[in-house]
Chain A
């Protein structure tokens, strides 16, 4: 089965690394993957996005026009991607900063106050993207949490490994937020 996902937000919110980590974790689980970033000037503080495909078979197109999952962390991204979620698909949106909620009713919409939770409960807004990723795998069961941890270990430079427990906590918090229906 092919899962087409898009992650979007401001540059610096960690959307590209969120997608990369998910793709890497899926690769470790033996699946086919592709990660395609938007690149260019928008990386510098503007809106960035990446498309991640995970499949059991050879991935045809690394880009797509309709997605099974959209994760949006700012308003411009919500405007851009709400309309391209496939009917029945999943939309996760950052509800502590986006003040215009999505309007579609034919998709599964999950409001996630990720920035607020990361700041208040983890005292570190930088791991907000891991919290979102935790929520995503909590909802969709795309990869195992353990695979995400392996991905962190493999891709983070050694000097940052001390941050892995915090990232793990963020993933777990994200998972708990969706299981409790937040």
Chain B
């Protein structure tokens, strides 16, 4: 069988990938710049078995995802920044109740109502919490339409494997961009979720899905269980990509669409005699802290620079990894502006 190659928008591709991953339920509320996801699923719905429901709000969507995930189904929602803020209540409950599901945030510029243009200003929200309590999301950051497909499927798989919510954190530019994608064949999804609330048969105890543990000792035990899980994820699921790092003196750290621009910066820099390399986190949590730390030990490395479409968020994690051994600089644009290679080169030159 020849490969299924298509020319697709990022938003369409992630929707198609979800279908091929065996999606059973999508609950969402339209918001720019990700509405093509629900629109695509609406068009494809008659050909497949999944349930598509346009909810009354993102608050409701996230809680429908909670109910569907607890019923044992492969469920997801997608939104953009202001909508993801509204979902944080549900995200916290889902994390504590240990329910596998997929969130997609096609981020736009904030704060507030902001702009519908692309942004990476939701990094803190995605990797440091967002909702209340001690929890983590597995955060995958695609930088191409192909990775929208790959990480959607990976997100579902990791969510099931660890019984935890996963988040694809992308942005409006990747959601709206069209590229070539190779689509994988559909997965015959057979969930094995003995904990799910599907109606209590005679031969098992009742299943109760909850995030309520009123006794302190019990709540601490649940927290310890979560932290043990997060430790396992941290040890096993860090993903990153290096580009020309072997002899790099300047290490750029960038994810998502910014990492694409930085790849060009690496080439441009090297054309101009600057030994620039790029470390691209593919998982934002767990973060490639160890990889950055190893680079900080290399005497040839002069400086790090985190390049973001934010006012400086991921740079904090770079600093935590570098632990003061090398200077860590930041270059960023906000408001939906994608930095150009030339301005990044100039920012590097200013530090050398």
Among listed A62-70, A104-112, A158-166, interface-contacting one: A62-70
Check: B257 CB closer than 8 A to any chain A CB: yes
Is the CB–CB distance between B7 and A36 below 8 Å?
no
Min Cβ gap B232→A in Å is 33
Collect the chain A residues with CB atoms within 8 Å of residue B179's CB: 33-35, 59, 62
Is the CB–CB distance between A39 and B176 below 8 Å?
yes
Q: 1/0 per residue B99-141: CB within 8 Å of A?
A: 0000000000000000011000000000000000000000000
Partner among A32, A37, A39, A60 whose Cβ is within 8 Å of the Cβ of B180: A32
Min Cβ gap B279→A in Å is 15
Is the CB–CB distance between A63 and B338 below 8 Å?
yes
- C-alpha gap A147/B99 in the complex (Å): 48
- C-alpha gap A59/B263 in the complex (Å): 9
Min Cβ gap B244→A in Å is 12
- C-alpha gap A69/B289 in the complex (Å): 41
- C-alpha gap A36/B118 in the complex (Å): 12
Q: 1/0 per residue B199-211: CB within 8 Å of A?
A: 0000000000000
Min Cβ gap A160→B in Å is 17
Partner among A27, A35, A40, A61 whose Cβ is within 8 Å of the Cβ of B263: A61
- C-alpha gap A9/B187 in the complex (Å): 43
Kindly report which residue of chain B lies nearest to residue A19, judged by CB atoms: B178
Is the CB–CB distance between B260 and A61 below 8 Å?
yes
Check: A24 CB closer than 8 A to any chain B CB: yes
- C-alpha gap A9/B149 in the complex (Å): 31
- C-alpha gap A67/B147 in the complex (Å): 26
Kindly report which residue of chain B lies nearest to residue A25, judged by CB atoms: B7
Known interface pairs A60-B260, A61-B263, A61-B264; A23-B178 also in contact (CB < 8 Å): yes
Known interface pairs A23-B178, A34-B177, A35-B177; A62-B257 also in contact (CB < 8 Å): yes
Residues of chain B at the chain A interface (Cβ within 8 Å): 5, 7, 32-33, 116-117, 172-173, 176-180, 257, 260-261, 263-264, 267, 338, 340-342
